[in-house]
Amino acid sequence: MSILRALAAAAIVFCAPPSKAQAAATAPRLAADKAWSRPAAVGSNAAGYLTLVNRGPADVLESVASPAAARVEMHGASMAGGVMRMWSEQRVAVPANGSVRFAPGGRHLMFVGLKHALRSGDRLPATLHFASGRTLAVELRVDAGGAPAMGPMHGAMHGPMPGM
Ligand SMILES: [Cu+2]
C-alpha cells in the first residue's frame, strides 16, 4: 500500500465516531474509564484507548505492560492538514484532579506483538505504572464499535517507523 493511500485510509478511519462508553474500573485515586481496543490478529499491533482519571495529586504515567503483548508503548498522534504524525512518549503527565484521554486520532497505548488474537468481547489486560509508585490494573474491552478495524492499518503505519 502506498504511503498516500495509507494516509488517506487513516484519515477516514480517524474520522470515525468514538466508541460508546464502557464500564469504569475502580480505583481510589487513579482510575481508567472507557478502556477499549479493537479486534486484531495475533502477532499484530493494537491501539488501546482509555481515559485516565486522577483524583489525587499530579502523577506521571511511566510505563505500561500487558501479558497479552510483547510490549506496550505510549504513543502521541496528531492529524494536521490531512497528515497524521505519531511519536513515542516515554512519560505522560497526569494532572492533579484531572484526566488524560487516550483516544482515536490522538494519544494511545500501542500493544505491540499481540500474543493472541483480540476478538470482540475479549478483555485485554494491562498494568499502568506511575512515577509515584502506584500501579493501575485495567482491562480494555475489545469492541469493533461499528467502525472499520484500525488494527491492521495502525500496524502498517507503525511498521516502517524507525526506532519503534
Ligand atoms: Cu501508535
- 43-83, pLDDT tens digit by residue? 999 999 999 999 999 999 999 999 999 999 999 999 888 88
Give whole-number Cα distances, 108 to 2, 5, 13, 73, 75, in Å.
24, 22, 15, 9, 5
Percent of the chain with pLDDT over 90: 65
Which residues fall inside 5 Å of ion ligand 1, going by CB?
Answer: 75, 110
Cα(121) to ligand 1 centroid in Å equals: 22
pLDDT at 149 over 80: no
Query: For domain 3-158, which CATH number applies: 3.40.640.10, 3.60.15.10, 2.60.40.1890, 3.40.140.80?
Result: 2.60.40.1890
> Could you give the angle at the alpha carbon of 139 between the alpha carbons of 135 and 143, nearest 5°?
150
Cα(96) to ligand 1 centroid in Å equals: 26
Cα(54) to ligand 1 centroid in Å equals: 23
Buried b (16+ CB within 10 A) or exposed e, 141-152: bbbebebeebbb
> Which pLDDT belongs to residue 154?
56
> Which pLDDT belongs to residue 12?
47
Cα(103) to ligand 1 centroid in Å equals: 11
User: In 10 A of CB 27, how many CB atoms?
Assistant: 17
Q: Which three cell numbers stand for residue 135?
A: 500501579
Query: d(Cα 106, Cα 63) in Å, to the nearest integer?
Result: 18
> Which pLDDT belongs to residue 164?
41
Q: What is the pTM of this model?
A: 0.73
